[in-house]
Amino acid sequence: MTLDLVVLPGVLAVCRIAAGSPVPGWVEGDTLVSVTRTAEELSIVCDASAVPETVTAESGWRAIQVSGPLEFGLTGVLSSLAGPLAAAGVPIFALSTFDTDYILVKETALAEAVAVLSAASHRIR
């Protein structure tokens, strides 16, 4: 499976907020933002520069978007990305939306991730 991918601008952070907390006001912006609530936590991905120092977060992530929209019945999208990256030792954080999928890689591994995905026949813009 060959996918068209886009490296998004900006540095992201993955944040962990206490379960039951409201979505903080600093979660906004034009970049990729993802808010996921479970019984155990409120997990937020957003622009790293917006995250207060008091928040538990891991910064330094870059997003690679699968050009979409993708059909819900399509299979193997994430595995076609995660497999080659795992084989190369590049950790990912995966997100999905209604229209498409995203993988986050550490900014320090972005060049390697792009090279690995290109070698796996994906097209990167």
pLDDT digits (tens, 9 = 90+) for 36-71: 999 999 999 999 999 999 999 999 999 999 988 888
Structural domain of 11: 4-124
Q: Which amino acid is at 75?
A: T
Number of structural domains, the chain?
A: 1
> How many angstroms separate the Cα of 97 from the Cα of each of 18, 52, 94?
23, 26, 10
Give the pLDDT confidence score for residue 88 in this predicted structure: 98
pLDDT of residue 72: 80
Q: What is the CATH number of the domain that holds 116?
A: 3.30.2130.10
Identify the sign of the CA torsion 70, 73, 77, 82.
positive
pLDDT of the residue at 107 = 98
